Structure 1
Amino acid sequence: MKVAVLDIKGKETGRSIELSDAVYGIEPNKHAVYLDVKQYLAHQRQGTHKSKERAEIAGSTRKIKKQKGTGTARAGSIKSPVFRGGGRIFGPRPKDYKQKLNKNLKRLARKSALSIKTNEKAILVVEDFNFDAPKTKDFKNVLKSLGLENKKSLFVLGDSNNNVYLSSRNLKGSEVITNSDLSTYKILNANNIVLLEGSLEGIESNLTKQ
């Protein structure tokens, strides 16, 4: 599948590039996409939630009132969960939310996500560019030229580029990553994917490994 290569002003360079049908033109596997997105979101959870249970509360162990004759239920400890300030019954404990998926399924999910975006005509190929210094204004000009000013966009670079990354960091709707950081969630979460020429070889290499 041929795609026109654009410059940072949004104009065609007169060149086109062939995108692999094995990566951008497969029949999307929705279940693989679901599993990969589910894993990504699970890994965002810290799992550090914790509340103190009865044995962990600091307090006196003295019996707080006599056993009989008060007209109320018997009570032995101020740390009981039924009292204000007592321990919590079955409170949350630290937990590891990580999930395991095999590499082939994750590759299938990412190829499916890229194919979905290709079908939606939401993928742009732009020639590699750089800035002399980190400037948010320069990156906003690129977004405006590409018609992505008010859309969620994901820029995929071949290699890390500090000036481009820092220029985009203050913009809420845009994210810049390298091809090795490409995930199913990030692909689907963006309205448009901007692939720099230098990223294409790495993406295809990563997703067509056996």
Structure 2
Amino acid sequence: GSMHMFSVEHKFYGGHGIVGAQVSLGTGLGFAHKYRDDGGLCLAYFGDGAANQGQVYESFNMAELWKLPIIYVIENNQYAMGTSVNRSSAEDQLYRRGESFRIPGIQVDGMDVLAVRGAAEEAREWVKAGKGPILLELKTYRYRGHSMSDPAKYRSREEVQSVRDKSDPIDHAGRELQAMGVSEDALKDLDKQIRAIVSEAADFAETAPEPALAELYTDVLVENY
């Protein structure tokens, strides 16, 4: 998954195997931007399940106290690993989670790409103005289980299909583009190009040679103390 993707070159510092730990790391990156005074900002992404972790609120406190340039993005898919946010969270309006730290929040339709873009631009302006952190709660949905071993029996097939029919973000973006004058043929061509890119990436991953066994020891500290 995304926790295994990492690129210093692209300033993408991956996720973390510990739930919510990337929030602390992201806050540290925000501190680095402020310390270096380089004009940068950090976006730290986490889900509705991680939103209940303690280190998240320690990070909120430090970020607001030091006015760090960071945008906390909560991707609320409503079920975390398999429990409804309404059953697991005393405050299920997650954009309010920063209020006790005086951090403002915005709730956004995460299935609408233009709404997300607009909210992101607003959040960026807030941070760039030196006002400190801000929260974005993106209300979204996942069609499949949390993992390959998740049969997703905590919701009905009818619920999933209803979201697909009414709120699918790709279909919604397609309708927006058509309203702007983009032809259906152009959209089909774009879909074909994207599928080719995905297929090429999958083929590369499956055919790439396995790393040498010696790589197991790369960057591993082994010393006597």
Per the normalisation by structure 2, the TM-score is 0.28
Structure having the higher strand fraction is 1
Larger Rg, first or second structure (1 or 2): 1
